[in-house]
Amino acid sequence: MRTTIDLPDGLFRQVKTLAVQKGLTLKDFFTAAVERAVVETPAESRRMVHPPIMGGIAKPIPARSNEELAALLEAEDLEKAQ
């Protein structure tokens, strides 16, 4: 799955430097960091959280394919970049 994250420039430089020092790509570095955070988080704090119910005023969210979601996210990124 692809995602976009926004990091402060200084933090990004530190992350990139650490990844290079460890011989990892940024993808592998972030994957390892996220996996470590999940493993170190106690199971009771990882319980499923249900979204709030809006009392019937909310419209159902249409089902989207992965391709449609990727296109929407890309369009949002391009809009933010302009």
Q: What is the DSSP string of 10-23?
A: HHHHHHHHHHHHHT
Q: List the helix and strand counts (H, then E) for the chain.
A: 3, 0
pLDDT on residue 41: 73
Evaluate whether 8 touches 1 at the Cβ level (below 8 Å).
Answer: no
The token pair that represents 27 in the structure block: 């993808």
Question: Could you tell me the pTM of the whole model?
Answer: 0.49
Question: Between these two residues, 38 and 62, which has the higher pLDDT value?
Answer: 38
**pLDDT, tens digit, 9 for 90 and up, residues 14-55:** 999 999 999 999 999 999 999 998 888 776 666 677 776 666
What's the pLDDT score for residue 12?
94
- Residues listed for the chain: 82
